[in-house]
Chain A
Amino acid sequence: MNLLLLRSSSLKRTSCSFLSKSLSGNGFLISPSIALHYSTITPEKNNTLKAAEEHVNEINEINQKHKENHASEIKNQNSNSAPSKIQPISHKQTRLIVEKQIKFKETALRSPLLITLHRRLELPKSFELYSLARCLTCKGRTSQYSKNADNSALAYFGESLLDYYVTEHLITKYPRLPLKILENAVDAYTSDKVLHDVAANSWGIEADNSLPIDLALRDVDSSYYLGKLRYVERHKQLENDSNFIQIDTKKNSTTERNAMASAVKSILAVYYASTESLSETKKFIHAHILSRKLDVSSLFAFNQPTRELSVLCKRENLEPPVTRLISETGRLSRSPVFVAGVFSGTEKLGESYASSLQEAKIRAAVAALKNYYLYSPLNPKYPSDEDFSPALIVDHGDVIV
C-alpha cells in the first residue's frame, strides 16, 4: 500500500511537468456540429487568431527576456569566455510554427471522425479535437503541420495512469493475491490485446491501413484521415527471391495492436490533462477498462495444492487440514461422485466434488486455497480515495512449499 501511495505522489509530479511541456490549454471550443462528410464546420476564426496572436506575443516576450539576459551575461563575463550556443528563435520562425499549429487545429475541427469519436467517448469540452488527433498519431506518422506531435510521450504517461489505477483496484479488491497472479491480472486489463479490443471494438477507432502508394498520392493530412489511427505498419513476412522470410525493421514501425493500445493510453493522458482531475480520470478508467469482466480464480494453476494448504495452515496458526468425505454416490458404478471437504478443526476451509476420492481431495484443497487467496473485503476504499485511511495490513507473502 505504501508503495502504491509513493507511486501516486510521483505520478502527480510527473503529470505536472508533462502538462507544462506537452499540452498548454488554449481557448478552443468544439462547435456542436454534424459529423457528415459534406458538412463544413466554420471554426471560430477570430478566437483562433486571437489565441495565435497571444501565443506570438508570449514567445516575443520570452525572446526579449532571453536577449536581455544574454546581453547582461556577456557584460558580466570576461571577453575571453565563449558566447553561449543557445540562440532565440526568430520572429519569422515562430510565426510559421504558429500558423502551422492553427492550420492543424482548424483541420482537426473539420474532421467528422474526430467529432464522432469525441461524442462516442463523451469527452469533456476541454478535451480539444486536435489533441484527440494527436492521440491517434503514432511515431513516424506525424503530420506536415507539426513534426513532433506524435502520441509516444502521451502514451508513456497514460500507461502509468492506467497501470496505477488497475493495480490499485486489484490490490484493494483482492489483498491476498500472490504477486505473479496479480501481475497477470493487471495484464488481463492493460495488455495491448485488451486495449486493442477497447479501441477497435468498443470505441470504434479505425486504423488507416492504406498502402504506401496511396499515402504518397492522397492528402494524408486531410481532415478525414486525421480521425483515423495513423501508424507505420510493420510487415513481418516479406518474401524475397530465395523465399527467405525477412523481418522488416522499418524505423518506428509498429503493429496495429500496439498502435491501438498507445492510442488508448494517450487518450487517458489527455483526459487527465484536459480535466486536470485525477478522480475524473479514475472514473473514466473504471467505466471503460475496469468494467470489463475478469474471472481472477481462473488465473491459478496449483502444483501441489494439498502440501501448499498444510504449509499455509501452519503459517496462519490453524490446525492441520484434514480431508473428510461429506457425501458420495455410486461408489461401485462407472460414474461415482464423491463430495470431499477440507477441515481445519471444526471449520470447513473448502469443498469440492470429483469422480475419484483422490481427485476430490485435491479439488477440495484447491477450493480452500482459492477461498484464502481470493478474500475480498466489503466496500473497500482505494488509496486514491479522499477518505482513505491506511490500515495496517501485514502480508506474509507467497507460501513456500
Chain B
Amino acid sequence: MPVKPLSATSLSMNGLGTFMLPCKKIVLQYCNWNGSAEGMRQFILNELKDYAASNPKIEFNIIKKTGHPVVKGYYPYNQVKSICVRNLKPFEIKRKLDLIKNNSSAQLTSYKNNVTSKNKNPRGIWSPFHVAPSLRHKI
C-alpha cells in the first residue's frame, strides 16, 4: 500500500452549519437573610420567570446558599464563569445575566493579529520566487 492513511478528528465550527449557544446552564445562587442578596431575591421573585421564558435554550437553576449572591454560567469543555452580584439591583443583575448568556467562555485576551482563522488564505501567500526574473531583487 503506497498511501498510508493517517487518523484525524474533525473540528467543531460553531455557527457554520448551525449555531449552538455556548452558554448551556445558568445557576443563580442566593441567600434568604443576607442584605447583599436583596436585589437577587427581588429578581428571582419578579423577573426570573420572564427572563427564563425568553431564553429557552438555557437551563436555569436556583441554589439557596449562605453568603453573597452569585451568578454562574456553564459552557462547553467544563468551563464555568461566575460573577458576584452582591448589593446589585435587579436591573443590574439582568445585565450581568446578559453578559453570561452572550459569553463565548473564551479567556479575555488582546489579539495580536488582525485576523485569526482556521482556514487557509484563499489567495495564498505572496512568494518572491514567482515574480518574473527581471523584476526580482538582486543582491
Where the two chains meet, the residues of A that have a C-beta atom closer than 8 Å to any C-beta of B are 34-39, 112-113, 115-116, 119-120, 122, 178, 180-181, 183-185, 187-189, 191, 193-194, 197-198, 200-204, 286-288, 290-295, 298-304, 307-308, 326-329, 337, 339, 353, 373, 398-401
Contact = CB atoms under 8 A, between A and B. Distances in A.
Given A116-B58, A198-B12, A291-B16, 4 more contacts: A112-B60, A120-B57, A188-B8, A298-B8
Contacts of B127: 339
Closest 6 CB pairs of A and B: A291-B17, A204-B24, A292-B10, A201-B76, A287-B17, A327-B129
A203 B119 CA distance: 24
Interface of B: 1-14, 16-18, 20-21, 24-25, 48-49, 52-53, 56-62, 76-77, 118-119, 127, 129-130
A308 B10 CA distance: 28
Contacts of A184: 5-8
Contacts of B48: 36
Given A201-B12, A293-B10, A181 B59 contact: no
Contacts of A39: 49
Given A120-B24, A203-B20, A327-B129, A36 B12 contact: no
Q: Is the interface of B mostly helix, strand, loop or mixed?
A: loop
Contact of A293 (B18, B58, B60, B118): B118
26 contacts: A36-B52, A37-B60, A37-B62, A116-B57, A119-B56, A120-B20, A181-B5, A184-B5, A184-B7, A191-B9, A198-B12, A201-B76, A202-B12, A204-B20, A292-B11, A292-B12, A293-B12, A293-B16, A294-B11, A301-B5, A302-B2, A302-B4, A303-B3, A308-B3, A327-B129, A353-B129
Contacts, number: 145
Contacts of A353: 129
Nearest to B21: A120
B20 A301 contact: no
A304 to B, nearest CB: 6
Contacts of A308: 2-3
A119 B129 contact: no
A120 B57 CA distance: 5
B59 A303 contact: no
B8 A116 contact: no
Interface centre among A34, A326, A373 (most CB of B within 10 A): A34
Contacts of B12: 197-198, 201-202, 292-293
B18 to A, nearest CB: 4
Given A119-B57, A178-B3, A189 B129 contact: no
A184 B1 CA distance: 15
A301 B3 contact: yes
A292 B13 contact: yes
B6 A301 contact: yes
Nearest to A373: B3
Given A116-B58, A188-B9, A204-B24, A180 B129 contact: no
B52 A34 contact: yes
Contacts of A327: 129-130
A329 B60 contact: no
A194 B49 contact: no
B59 A113 contact: yes
B7 A188 contact: yes
Nearest to B61: A37
Contacts of B56: 34-35, 115-116, 119
B3 A398 contact: yes
Contacts of B62: 36-38
Nearest to A399: B2
B57 A303 contact: no
A327 B130 CA distance: 8
A313 to B, nearest CB: 14
A160 to B, nearest CB: 20
A194 B9 CA distance: 7
